[in-house]
């Protein structure tokens, strides 16, 4: 690993504007499912890295739950020291190819340059470092030299489970990851569309983990196919990383009509088509030729939007009950908090209509029980409560409605019930300061304990939980622990 010797260009931020990768032209990218962004030229990236001011107090680092040492790798990239840059990046982040594509980048929201200029293009720099490292075959397995003789089961293979598993394997434990789906990755695999992250990135990382010694068992639902008792007998420790997969529903009149689906009932099919399980035309739940309404204005809604466009939807509306966010930070949302401003994701750029301050009253069906429209009205926020705006009722034709309203916590019953695990007041798995549940040798990390959150928090929790498990199994640990269960984002 190289040694920093100060900034390479102390005036970079005065000379250069922020630039990030171009998105491929909309008419072209809608014809395929490949990632939307073009590669970013590495010499231009060095210019972008030179905009970093190497702040005395790097707020970017504070804004990142992983504690990524961002000014260091900015400097190394500017100096053309790419191998050192990936070492520095991997020191705090197991999967920069995931975060570099999927994280909303609280680091950029906290970047000091962002006070009066566009922030440093941290996420672009991150993803380019790791993509280049893979191209150069620098991402090699890190095989433990000493084995502990202890075994750990990780239940769930999303980003939290994968991070915990990689850390624990490297610490010398025999780790088995259980996944109930047929492929590894959790939401990364079947929630995130191919056009946001091609799944070859997961496969490549899983291959590295297998070479390090992590064992993966797919198609096994722990609590159903294997009992909680069996898992506890077979392993010295168990890490629960099953995510917050219980979706929020909209139990209004007409909810049982044919044509209303949860986002996570819809998105996995499109991803399966890209895995080659069947053709796009054979996708069981598809928006092809249909009038689509998405309820929920967040990232999952945008994932549905981009998927519907690629399937050939006739029209797409995306409903959001909140008002349209401002173009600039509001007074109540100052730097370095995450900017709650109007954003145009790649999916929004591709078409569809975003409808804000709207509430759905009822789903309307035809005589055969199929959805034909929804009834809605405008709302306004009064003293923190939504009130109907008089005389704004309307109907909108819809063949298919996709509910993308977030998740309320882990699925109840099953494994959690068998283990007699305590939940907290928000229905997440309760844990102490060390990610330990109320049941001996059972730990929890990621959305299952925190509730629905960002990928970067999932990886950070996986790393911290692994450190806690390692310390418990061996009496000490050299693994990093970037977050505590009680840590919260800069919001
Ligand atoms: Fe560089 Fe921005 Fe971090 Fe300062 S806050 S060190 S300018 S990336």
420-457 pLDDT, tens per residue? 999 999 999 999 999 999 999 999 999 999 999 999 99
Q: Examine the pLDDT at 2 and tell me if it is beyond 50.
A: no
Taking all residues of the chain, what is their mean pLDDT, rounded to a whole number? Answer: 96
Does ligand 1 lie within 6 Å of residue 105's CB atom?
no
Does ligand 1 lie within 6 Å of residue 465's CB atom?
no
Task: Indicate the pTM of the whole model.
Answer: 0.96
> Which distant-in-sequence residues (6+ apart) come within 8 Å of 254 by Cβ?
260, 362, 363, 364, 365, 371, 374
pLDDT digits (tens, 9 = 90+) for 399-420: 999 999 999 999 998 999 999 9
Percent of the chain scoring above 90 in pLDDT: 96
> Which distant-in-sequence residues (6+ apart) come within 8 Å of 465 by Cβ?
160, 164, 239, 241, 435, 443, 444, 445
Does ligand 1 lie within 6 Å of residue 54's CB atom?
yes
Q: Examine the pLDDT at 48 and tell me if it is beyond 70.
A: yes
Strands 315-319 and 291-295: parallel
Prior bond of 336 cis (ω within 30°): yes
Q: How far apart are CA 272 and CA 278, in angstroms?
A: 7
Q: Which of 23, 123, 168, 64 is nearest to 462 (CA)?
A: 168
Model pLDDT, residue 491: 59
pLDDT band at 7 (very low <50, low <70, confident <90, very high): low
Model pLDDT, residue 326: 96
Does ligand 1 lie within 6 Å of residue 171's CB atom?
no
pLDDT band at 10 (very low <50, low <70, confident <90, very high): confident
Kindly give the number of the ligand 1 atom that is closest to the alpha carbon of 51.
7
User: Using CA positions, which residue lies closest to atom 2 of ligand 1?
Assistant: 111
User: Using CA positions, which residue lies closest to atom 4 of ligand 1?
Assistant: 55
pLDDT digits (tens, 9 = 90+) for 317-326: 999 999 999 9
Q: How far apart are CA 446 and CA 160, in angstroms?
A: 5
Q: Which of 314, 468, 296, 463 is nearest to 400 (CA)?
A: 314
Model pLDDT, residue 177: 98
Kindly give the number of the ligand 1 atom that is closest to the alpha carbon of 119.
2
Per-residue pLDDT averaged across 14-25, rounded? 97
Does ligand 1 lie within 6 Å of residue 120's CB atom?
yes
Least confident stretch, 8-12, 135-139, 250-254, 414-418: 8-12
Q: Examine the pLDDT at 108 and tell me if it is beyond 90.
A: yes
pLDDT band at 1 (very low <50, low <70, confident <90, very high): very low
Does ligand 1 lie within 6 Å of residue 231's CB atom?
no
Does ligand 1 lie within 6 Å of residue 275's CB atom?
no
What is the H or E stretch that residue 334 is in? none
Please give the biggest Cα pair distance in the chain: 74
In this structure, how many other beta carbons lie within 10 angstroms of the beta carbon of residue 467? 22
Model pLDDT, residue 8: 64
Q: Examine the pLDDT at 3 and tell me if it is beyond 80.
A: no
Model pLDDT, residue 186: 97
pLDDT digits (tens, 9 = 90+) for 368-395: 999 999 999 999 999 999 999 999 999 9
Could you tell me if 160 and 447 are in contact, meaning their C-beta atoms sit under 8 angstroms apart? yes
Mutate to test the pocket of ligand 1, among 12, 45, 74 (most ligand atoms within 8 A of CB): 74
Does ligand 1 lie within 6 Å of residue 60's CB atom?
yes
Q: How far apart are CA 466 and CA 239, in angstroms?
A: 8
pLDDT digits (tens, 9 = 90+) for 472-486: 999 999 999 999 999
Model pLDDT, residue 97: 98
pLDDT digits (tens, 9 = 90+) for 183-215: 999 999 999 999 999 999 999 999 999 999 999
Kindly give the number of the ligand 1 atom that is closest to the alpha carbon of 122.
8
Model pLDDT, residue 338: 92
């Amino acid at each position: 690993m190289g040694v920093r010797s100060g900034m390479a260009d102390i005036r970079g931020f005065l000379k250069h504007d922020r630039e990030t990768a171009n998105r491929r032209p909309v008419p072209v990218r809608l014809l395929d499912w490949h990632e939307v962004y073009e590669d970013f030229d590495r010499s231009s990236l060095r210019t972008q890295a030179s905009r970093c001011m190497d702040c005395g107090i790097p707020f970017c680092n504070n804004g990142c739950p992983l504690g990524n040492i961002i000014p260091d790798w900015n400097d190394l990239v500017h100096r053309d020291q790419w191998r050192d840059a990936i070492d520095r990046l991997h020191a705090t982040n197991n999967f920069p190819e995931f975060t570099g594509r999927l994280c909303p980048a609280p680091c950029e929201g906290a970047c000091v340059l962002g006070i009066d200029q566009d922030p440093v293009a941290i996420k672009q720099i991150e993803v380019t470092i790791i993509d280049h490292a893979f191209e150069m075959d620098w991402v090699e397995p890190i095989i433990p030299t000493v084995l502990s003789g202890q075994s750990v089961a990780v239940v769930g293979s999303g980003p939290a489970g994968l991070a915990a598993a990689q850390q624990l394997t490297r610490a010398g434990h025999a780790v088995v990851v259980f996944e109930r789906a047929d492929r590894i990755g959790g939401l990364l695999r079947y929630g995130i569309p191919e056009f946001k992250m091609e799944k070859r990135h997961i496969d490549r990382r899983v291959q590295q983990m297998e070479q390090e010694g992590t064992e993966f068992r797919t198609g096994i639902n722990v609590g159903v196919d294997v009992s909680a008792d069996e898992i506890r007998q077979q392993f010295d420790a168990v890490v629960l990383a099953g995510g917050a997969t219980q979706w929020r529903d909209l139990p209004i009149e007409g909810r049982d009509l044919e044509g209303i689906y949860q986002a996570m009932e819809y998105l996995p099919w499109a991803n399966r088509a890209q895995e080659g399980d069947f053709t796009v035309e054979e996708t069981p739940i598809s928006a092809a030729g249909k009038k689509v309404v998405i309820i929920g204005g967040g990232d999952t809604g945008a994932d549905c939007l981009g998927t519907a466009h690629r399937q050939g939807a006739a029209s797409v509306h995306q409903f959001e009950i909140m008002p349209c966010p401002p173009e600039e930070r509001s007074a109540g949302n100052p730097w370095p908090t995450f900017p709650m401003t109007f954003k145009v994701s790649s999916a929004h750029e591709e078409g569809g209509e975003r409808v804000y301050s709207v509430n759905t009253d009822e789903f309307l069906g035809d005589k055969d029980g199929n959805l034909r429209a929804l009834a809605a009205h405008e709302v306004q926020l009064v003293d923190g409560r939504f009130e109907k705006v008089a005389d704004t009722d309307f109907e909108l034709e819809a063949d298919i409605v996709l509910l993308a309203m977030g998740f309320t916590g882990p699925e109840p019953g099953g494994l959690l019930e068998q283990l007699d695990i305590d939940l907290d007041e928000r229905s997440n798995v309760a844990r102490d300061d060390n990610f330990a549940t109320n049941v001996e040798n059972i730990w929890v990390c990621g959305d299952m304990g925190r509730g629905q959150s960002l990928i970067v928090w999932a990886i950070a929790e996986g790393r911290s939980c692994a450190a806690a498990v390692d310390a418990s199994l061996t009496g000490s640990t050299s693994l990093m622990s970037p977050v505590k269960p009680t840590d919260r984002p800069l919001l």
